[in-house]
Amino acid sequence: MYRLLTSILPVLTLLLTAPLIAGEIEPNTQKLGLGGYSPVSYFQPSGPQFGSPQHQATHEGVTYLLADEAELKQFNANPAKYAPAYGGWCAFGMAVEGKFGADPTNYKIVNDQLLVFLKNDQMDTRDMWNEGSEAELTTKADVYWNKINNAPSRAYLGSQNVASNGVALSGYSPVSYFTKGYAEQGSPDFAVDHQGVTYLLTDAKQAELFKADPAKYAPAFGGWCAFGMSISDKFPIDPTNFKIVDDQLMVFLRNENIDARELWNKGETKELKHKANAHWMKVQG
């Protein structure tokens, strides 16, 4: 997937005709975010609506227009929630290490975050994003955004399997695996840090459960594939491919060629856990 994306990057770059956005504005001019659309409106059923110059807010050097006083208060209370990801650049472009202008009406809400995409006569990068692995693309976009902004990466913090932004399990709530029996996306509004790693929970109740006993809910082996650990290796994971073993969350690799959970199920659990724990101790140093 990534090879395909990077191979078409030069072609994409040549096709770009979108106007300059935040970070590319002439000196002494206002940096207007989202082409004047209200960032709060994207999260409402009506979708993107133009804001008003009478209701302005500035976040990280970019000015956003809101529709009314109510939206202005919402934005000012939590600007990081409403401001577009990647500084308003095309999210797909970030995933293939390119800075593409975006059409502010071409958007998607992912993990409670606003992503905007390039759209012109030749292509729609939102369609290209939807054809890929959202977790993989998001991770790659985060890495590149941190790189070009000189932000310190938190990837592999303490040998744990986390993205560059420090979020574990691709943003899935560790508590939901236990209480609901399935993988469920958490929200940045209910983020909890544990040993330098950020976990996203779905609501305040889950956040309190996690804080009360983080060791119970945090994934085994630092969030690496449990089967990979049992054969002395570190495999990436599909956070929706999991198993609760002895009241412990284990996550597994899954792709077109292999389902590591199936391989785990074919073995002897006690022996696999012993081997995985032994290798995890080495990984941790």
Which amino acid, 187? S
Nearest to 254 by CA among 232, 228, 230: 228
Mean pLDDT within 4-30:
42
92 or 9, which is more confident:
92
- pLDDT number for residue 43: 96
Contact in structure between 237 and 264 (CB atoms under 8 Å): no
Amino acid in position 41: S
Residue 152 is classified by DSSP as P
pLDDT of the residue at 263: 97
Residues near 192 by beta carbon (within 8 Å), at least 6 away in sequence: 198, 199, 201, 207, 210, 211, 214
- Using CA atoms, how far apart are residues 87 and 91, in angstroms rounded to an integer? 9
Which of 98-102, 132-136, 148-152, 266-270 has the lowest average pLDDT? 148-152
CA distance 118 to 105: 10
Over range 26-41, report the average pLDDT.
78
**What local confidence, expressed as pLDDT, does residue 2 receive?**
41
Query: Cβ–Cβ contacts within 10 Å for residue 258, how many?
Result: 14
Chain-centroid distance of CA 55 in Å reads 30
pLDDT in tens, 193-202: 999 899 999 9
* pLDDT of the residue at 17: 35
* pLDDT score, position 24: 41
The stretch 235-244 carries a mean pLDDT of: 96
pLDDT at 164: 78
Distance from first CA to last CA of the chain, Å, rounded?
Answer: 33
H or E element that contains 261? helix 260-266
Determine the average pLDDT of the residues in 204-223: 97
Q: Where are the domains of the chain?
A: 2-148, 154-207, 219-285
Of 223, 132, 212, 124, nearest to 172 (Cα)?
223
Average pLDDT for the chain: 88
Question: Do the Cβ atoms of 228 and 253 come closer than 8 Å?
Answer: yes
pLDDT above 80 for 14: no
Amino acid at 269: T
> Residue 32's closest CA among 52, 7, 4, 9?
52
Cβ atoms 251, 237 nearer than 8 A: yes
- SS3 assignment, position 46: coil
Query: 268 Cβ partners below 8 Å, 6+ apart?
Result: none
